[in-house]
Amino acid sequence: MGQVIVITSGKGGTGKTTACAAISSCLAALGHKTLAIDCDVGLRNLDISLGMSDFAVSDINDVAAGETELTDYVHEHPKLPGLYFLSAPLYKPDSAISREDAAALFEKARESFEFVLVDSPAGIGSGFELAARDADSAIVVATANPASVRNAGRTVEMLEELGIGDIRLLVNMVDKSGWKRFKTTIDDIIDSAGVRLIGVVLNDNAVSTASVNETLLVLSSHGNAAHGFLDVARRLRGEDIPIA
């Protein structure tokens, strides 16, 4: 039985969707059958980050309404075997998908995939709750900016209220020269929120280049960010990888 991990953030601009795509692709590259689900209804972008915009045809509403297998709706990445994608609706409101629909979708996904990564809408509205409520664990993405880290702390509180006990923090887009300056702030929020740090990903121009070209970072770069996301994926599968 696989595990559903919601990737979320307190606000936009943290690189949450990029992180979801990068971690999903790293897990697949490590040999795990992985499904990336876009739950950001109306503002979907995960297909672009995955380089699969041509495959955003079927969506989570189709799965909820259909009686066929989940695997009939998902699409495998053309260049990375083992990585699959399911899109969010482009126009339908999130109210069109009930909690029961989401729970059933996640249960189907657990049966077919080792890892299921769900790209949640930023913020703590109804879309966030729909994506997160029935997940097994969560990764909260924040930048090293103190305001972003504070928002991450509030997101952790909301996840705990939804009953998610396994919550981890990913600090993204970190300026290497400023890491020491921000580290104390991040340590404080980790202590106060009671979450573990799953990774620190350094700022890297290769990320924006991969996004513009709609290519997977894991297939196009050997830089700092690619290594950072790969380490996160390795920790998710149980490896003991030190965080620098």
Residue 145's alpha-carbon distances to 54, 61, 141, 151, 244, in angstroms, are 35, 36, 12, 10, 18
Residue (of 24, 14, 4) closest to 152 by Cα position: 14
Q: How far is CA 226 from the centre of its chain?
A: 15
- What's the CA dihedral at 35, 40, 41, 42 to 10 degrees? -120
Whether 94 has a pLDDT exceeding 60, the answer reads no
What is the pLDDT, as a whole number, of residue 67?
Answer: 59
136's enclosing H/E stretch is: none
pLDDT above 90 as % of the chain: 47
Instruction: List the CATH code of the domain at 3-236.
Output: 3.40.50.300
What is the pLDDT, as a whole number, of residue 29?
Answer: 96
Using a cut of 0.85, tell me whether the model's pTM lies above it: yes
Type of residue at 98: S
What is the pLDDT, as a whole number, of residue 219?
Answer: 85
**What are the domain boundaries of the chain?**
3-236
CB 140 within 8 A of CB 170: yes
CB 120 within 8 A of CB 8: yes
What is the pLDDT, as a whole number, of residue 93?
Answer: 55
> What is the Cα–Cα distance from 115 to 159, expressed in whole angstroms?
19
For the beta carbon of residue 213, count every other beta carbon within 10 angstroms: 10
